[in-house]
Chain A
Amino acid sequence: LAKTTQPISMDSYEGQEVNITCSHNNIATNDYITWYQQFPSQGPRFIIQGYKTKVTNEVASLFIPADRKSSTLSLPRVSLSDTAVYYCLVGIYNTDKLIFGTGTRLQVFP
């Protein structure tokens, strides 16, 4: 299972775009890249998933370069409610167990 590396924490202000980068140098050919969000005392919640290039949904964008050794989660115009821990994981989720890294603690200030 690929190990991921993320910044421990990030600060931002409301209305700004936040980009969180994750390194996964040993990603396997069949692995997907998935980002989860976790609020205190809650289970993680799926944000976005991708395999290559760019994926966008209603809450975020995921940028994956051609070598797939890293990925960037982009949160447009963050609000206070986006304060949470964001985890980047790689794997094949219909079969794989998930190994969580440290995650990135995002703090959004007014």
Chain B
Amino acid sequence: GAVVSQHPSWVICKSGTSVKIECRSLDFQATTMFWYRQFPKQSLMLMATSNEGSKATYEQGVEKDKFLINHASLTLSTLTVTSAHPEDSSFYICSANPGLGNNEQFFGPGTRLTVL
């Protein structure tokens, strides 16, 4: 099946710094990728839709200037958490769909962000 990777798998940073998380589709191209955030014991919450070559679409309540998304190629989307604060500590997960009649979303393994 299609594989989606994320890097890093975990990151610890100081408050006020920015952190970049990469999401890659390893064996397929994806014009659209999705970013989710998940707090402990809670469900996944969709943050934004990343569109290759155009601006991301953010869900209501998600600050676009706080969570910068860049989808520069058909296999890579990045999420940058700018000026991170402890409340941004969470599990960030991306997903992508290979298209071509495939109706399944493939998820990355997630990135654990801890802001001190």
A residues lining the B interface (CB < 8 Å)? 32, 34, 36, 41-46, 49, 87, 92-95, 97-103
Contacts and interface: CB of A to CB of B under 8 A. Distances in A.
A95 B51 CA distance: 11
Interface of B: 1, 4, 6, 32, 34, 36, 43-46, 49, 91, 93, 95, 97, 99, 101-110, 112
B104 A49 contact: yes
Contacts of B103: 32, 34, 49, 92-94
Contacts, number: 59
A100 B44 contact: yes
Contacts of A46: 1, 104-106
B91 A93 contact: no
- State the main secondary structure of chain A at its contact with B: loop
Contacts of A32: 103
Contact of A94 (B44, B97, B110): B97
A98 B95 contact: yes
Contacts of A98: 34, 44, 46, 95, 105
A45 B107 contact: yes
B46 A41 contact: no
A97 B104 contact: no
B58 to A, nearest CB: 11
Q: Which of B95, B108, B112 has the most chain A CB atoms inside 10 A of its CB?
A: B95
Nearest to B107: A43
A87 B38 CA distance: 14
A98 B108 CA distance: 14
Nearest to A102: B43
A94 B96 CA distance: 9
A98 B110 CA distance: 16
